[in-house]
Structure 1
């Protein structure tokens, strides 16, 4: 078990490089939005446009993104599922793929969450690695992984600091949902999350587990807007 944890920590450290020394987020809560994760000054992140900044949330538009994703992992812990899945993704970018090709590190690592019906039941998690532009549009394949291609996608975002834990993420997601309730975005978000098998929310992590300052994490609610929508 110690060897397993050491391998994970080393892998994650290499994949998400250290950030700057700027003080960005107050504590572990989402009081501030709009902070560009400093990790993205060092490694590639998907680009986006900020459409709207609200009270405790931000609306972004990602024009198109591509992700390498795991199959769904059933676990009672987001932290545990993300650790398990990331080892698979780290092997992929280190050359365990159809092209035997090493792929540059990126951020964030995102975890799509479909919560369970009860406190002691396993939830479903899909963990994804953003594909660098130089490896698009045809990244190498690998057993147990698949490509997700997102078209233009709107995302409601809440940022929070500290280390992600299982108790915290549900509270942050609920706070984000409460922040957008009653705004011009709420109907589109509700429509996107009305399906029985839809992802409830996404957790985006930008930092190495060895960084204890300036950590930037995000909760995402992805949704679609009708053509011609005016802000």
Structure 2
């Protein structure tokens, strides 16, 4: 069954998705409230169904979507790679693509990290009106995603390499003892360590 495969992707197609807010907040949220990120009131976001709101985590089932991703970016830090990738993707939506098409900003922009390597991929959620026929661009590639289960931990403040590792570890701790830990553990070898979504 397709759902079984997607559960294996649970937090690892977005591989330990740790969702970071660009708005300053005093401390990490300890209890998930199942609240839609406020940024999605301003920008188009991928749609999802909240499957479970647990203590310090959410399980979301994201609908299929199309993303535009950078080629792998070698960088000494996630922060630097995110900046480099974001600037390239921002240029892309401003018309620096083969069709010269301008697009609306969306959220999130995600950064994918692979353990043990200083290589990152930054991705931009394409607006629905551009998903059928996304404009192509050098150094970028289209990533269609099937419906995917995602484990999410929301936290305030700006995302750094250290905070990403800390929040990814905290998400794993919160998932232990739940039915979600087994698919997460099984999928670790198939995907990167985590993705950070800047909202």
Seen in structure 2, the aligned counterparts of structure 1 residues 25 and 101 have a Cα distance that, compared at 3 Å, is closer
1:15-59 deviations in Å (ceiling 9; x for gaps): xxxx9xxxx985232324223221110110011000011111000
8 Å CA contact 1:25–1:32 kept in 2: the answer is no
Match of 1:220 in 2: none
| Cα RMSD for the two superposed structures | 1.7
8 Å CA contact 1:115–1:124 kept in 2: the answer is no
Q: Output the CA distance in 1 between the equivalents of 2:77 and 2:35.
A: 27
Q: Secondary structure at the match of 1:138?
A: coil
8 Å CA contact 1:25–1:160 kept in 2: the answer is no
Gaps in structure 1 of 5+ consecutive residues: 1-18, 117-121, 207-231
Q: Output the CA distance in 2 between the equivalents of 1:170 and 1:61.
A: 23
Which structure dedicates a bigger proportion of its chain to helix?
A: 2
Match of 1:85 in 2: 85
TM-score, reference length from structure 2: 0.84
Give the greater-gyration-radius structure (CA): 1
Number of residues of Structure 1 aligned to a counterpart in Structure 2? 177
| Residue 109 (str. 1) matches residue 109 (str. 2) | yes
Q: Output the CA distance in 2 between the equivalents of 1:47 and 1:163.
A: 24
Give the counterpart of 1:199 among 177, 185, 192.
Answer: 192
Structural mapping, 1:115-130, within 5 Å: 115-116=115-116, 122-130=117-125
Q: Secondary structure at the match of 2:83?
A: helix
Match of 1:62 in 2: 62
Q: Secondary structure at the match of 2:88?
A: helix
Match of 1:3 in 2: none
Q: Output the CA distance in 2 between the equivalents of 1:87 and 1:165.
A: 17
TM-score, reference length from structure 1: 0.73
